[in-house]
Structure 1
Amino acid sequence: AAIKDENPDLILAGHVAADDGSSQVPTRIAEILGLPHINVITSLDIADGKAVASSEADGGTQVTEVSIPAVISSQVSWNEPRYPSMKGIMQAKKKPVATVAAAAADNKVTIVEYALPAAKAAGIKVEDEPEVMAAKLGDWMKNTVKVEVK
């Protein structure tokens, strides 16, 4: 809701999150706002109301064109960051920062439950003659892991 109120022409986002790197944030922002989205770009050109971006794809390059406004996420290597000067940092401290209450957000997701994954079965260590080890391992896989052994 807060982003929609700003009516941006272009929303740029990183692609890697601290949790799993699944690029969920830019994809979800695009979906919620109903905007086109290009994920994990390596280059970007904007002209005549269009964004043209390149992405790595299956050993080649995929070129995608979307109309703006749009949401675009980038790889780390996309651009060399510009770091602010001390003067810029001091000026930024004087600028107002708007905050939006979480209750004002139009949440479309409800977390039902957090749960740990089931514990994995313990492995085994087999030391014997190769034929005996193969038989013991086959029996273990068949009976414990439930793998069909032929």
Structure 2
Amino acid sequence: MKPLSALLFSAITIVCISCGHHSTPASATNTSVKTVPDTSSSGISNDASAVIYTGQLPCGNCSGVAATLTLSASRQDGFYYTLREVYQGLKSGKDEVITSEGTYTILRGTSSDPQAEVVLLNPEKDKVLQRCFQRKGVEVLQLLDNEQRPLPGAQQFQLRRKK
């Protein structure tokens, strides 16, 4: 099953790179990679595919944030994400759920790693509304700051691929 998962993520990434919006924040030094994938023999549908990442992220004013990031790729509809964040253990005693949706793109390179693959949420929006995740292998996305640098305690800011 792991080779199939790796193949699925690779195919989605290739589709994202070939059809996505390739914008780069002004302060980033990324260059986008554009290829034309041949997914006809991969067993991956070009109509719609989704990969889900989940994790518990640290929070300054709560006990933690349960995050679920769904990345969808479709040749017809483009590349969309849904991010569901549950802020747990708030002082009010109630959890707060925030769901955001939008587009994403795949960028190549960061200032510290020219080979890094970065998933940029909301590339068309103001930088303060963007989120960046660096792909760490097939199974992990690591949250980056707005300058696409790792956050202190980087391992605490990881989402793992749902199996």
Q: TM range, normalised to the smaller chain?
A: under 0.3
Task: Name the TM-score, length of structure 1 as normaliser.
Answer: 0.23
More strand by share: 2
> Is the radius of gyration larger for structure 1 or structure 2?
1
More helix by share: 1
Task: Name the TM-score, length of structure 2 as normaliser.
Answer: 0.22
